[in-house]
Structure 1
Amino acid sequence: MVIGIVLLSGCAKIDFKTVKEPAYLRVFNNLRFKVTIETQDQALSTLTMLINPVYDGDGLPVSAATVGDFLVTRPAYAPPYPSHIGNSLDKYNPEFPGKERVIAGPILNGFDLSSWAQVPSGKMRIAFYVRPKSEVPFFDLEARYRTAPLIDTTLDLLAGEVYTLHALEKDFDTKEKGVLLRQEIFHKLALADSLVYVNFYNMSARGFWQADRSRKPEDMNTLVKNTYWEDALGQGVRDEMNVYCSVYDDRVQRPTSLPSFTKLFLTHLLRNNESPAAAPYYSLPLLTGAMANTARSPFYQKFFLLAPGFDFRDDEQAGGVESNNQYAFFTCFSNGNGETSPGGNLNWGPMLPNLIVTTHSGIYNPRSFGTVNSIEIVNGSVHLITVQRVYAPPVY
């Protein structure tokens, strides 16, 4: 694919280089550390990514074919559109390409790849450097920040393939760092528009769940600080877990799960931060409600992770340390209707957006769409990546 783009912004002209036979790459920084008095002034988890860096005579990088600077720890949600581009309030970037001005991926087999960057295919050297959390570009930093990369590896990207790259902690005790490059397959599958798809990964570091909680960072997904919520996932899950799903209707005050979708077994999940293989997808129906002039789904999902042989518990009971990391749960709720939590008093654990995307499309305002999703557990956090097909624009 050959694409040349010129953007004009005020008096500035940005010339993008043509990328011949590109691969499509999206990068997340999964590094997150416990902040203590000793480390509170250190930017332990802010990174710069260099693809095919160029070094001077002193071994310091002075340029690169592709630069992903100011990469902070990823947030819980990666939406199906490039939500960060154009945000100039600060330079901090929750993912790559994120705010970077690059040639975005195309529409591929109906899927929107605008959150992926086009990069050259073939073998390439990729280095990650720890940088201070400032607005100074990487190549203008003092030499001491450009001396030794945190991660330095060579990867082989095939032309036309879609990749998700994770910088992460491999071992919680030794603090070994590395990457996990996953070759995505969603654009190659025969997926139905009437279904919602999800797969699961546990990319946690070796030894995280066994470590004492005093060594672990605060659960980034926790919205309400109490024992039930924090222990639902924040202390990590075991290396082998069974994944179940329940589907709820948010039109009732104290929701109960649908009879056909109550604690439905989906998969047996193994911790793995080495294999590049994409996990299989599991489907849920795109159910819609009978409401006038709308095609909105009022349903949302709650996921449970149970160690083999561990029984389901009452929703009001905590997981995490209380169950020796054998039980955890989280909810994918928001339907775009302004609410941030389900009705009733049940414990819903960490909160993520709904797997069903609801927006104004065609004559329907709103309309719900099925999506393709990856749920990734990294140490004590759960993350959601959503990919969506192209849909019709609104008709006003």
Structure 2
Amino acid sequence: MDFDLNTEQKMLQKSAREFFSKELDSEMVREMEKDATGHSPQIWKKMARIGWMGLLIPEAFGGEEMGVTDMAIVLKEMGYAAFTSPYFFTAVVGVSLLLTGGSERQKKKLLPVVAKGKKILTLAWNETGVETACSGLSATAEIRGDHYLLNGTKTFVPFGHVADQIVVAVRTGPAGESGEDGISLFIVDRDQPGVNVEVVETMADDKSCELNFENLKIPTENMLGEKNQGWPILKSVFQVSAALKCAEMVGGARKVLQMTVNYAKKREQFSRPIGSFQAIQHHCADMITHLETSDLILLETCWRLDRGGDCAKQVSMCKAWVNENCRRLYLLGHQVMGGFGFMEEVDHQLYYRRGKAAEAMFGNADYHREAVARHMEG
């Protein structure tokens, strides 16, 4: 494979880098964390005008019809800027769910407005705190004539308080031995009676929410995919999402490396820059190794996803590797910067918090190492 970006991808990278450099700084990032919505509607509209909301959406539905690699390019720049918004769960997770499991009617109804930036989507899956666990799924939907009644609680729903539509995973049949059977997906309007949303405080300050559903009436036509066949859809979407979450992490790691090296050049101890000491130099050398290897496995994973087929083993290798190596990079940065890096006024802690949250999303390193081992057994 060719690791070089083509002309169009280089232009996309350049425009994304310039956009976030112009529109965003660390002060604004902190303001968005404190804001009730957790993001900037103004930047959201600008991104929609550029066409980024529809990067993965086919042209037939008003999108740009680009690939996973193209989306990774934009997400790396978002990670570098520590940009927070419902973008990932709208333009990646939500769009992928619709493309994978949505009916033609559902696609025609939602994808064009998502591409224009007029709808925010999210996924309500988690209940146990384990991102990939099926066995703990207990929210239910029971058929009542021409509709279902949904009851249950979902935790860690990203931007659930501002999402227009939420794809909710529930039990509609027996779980089976693995817990993967009997799962169905429904598209739910957030402002319906029976939906209660509460923002939960987290280390990443990423506007995760708890959603409680009490006898929520959902039309049967709002089912995404076939009854009891929700897990295959989720499994496919989680592959793409896990890889692209790695793109955000790699972008953030690049920024942490730059901040650490700049600090090592300027900070003096014993009348010389600390970057002149061998121990600090070795830390920085290890950091760039962690970054470059993570970027390379990410590029190969996106390349494979763009070519189709089952990429489960490759995605798991990527997520396990990026999780571990980005964490090591962040921690080495803290070693170089010392207690200064943990101060709220310093950006290093901001990236560390975001990185820790990203590690858990779509499976932590242990989960994906076990998945790789299972593939090797076959």
So what's the TM-score if we normalise by structure 2? 0.26
Normalized per residue, the structure richer in helix is: 2
Normalized per residue, the structure richer in strand is: 1
So what's the TM-score if we normalise by structure 1? 0.25
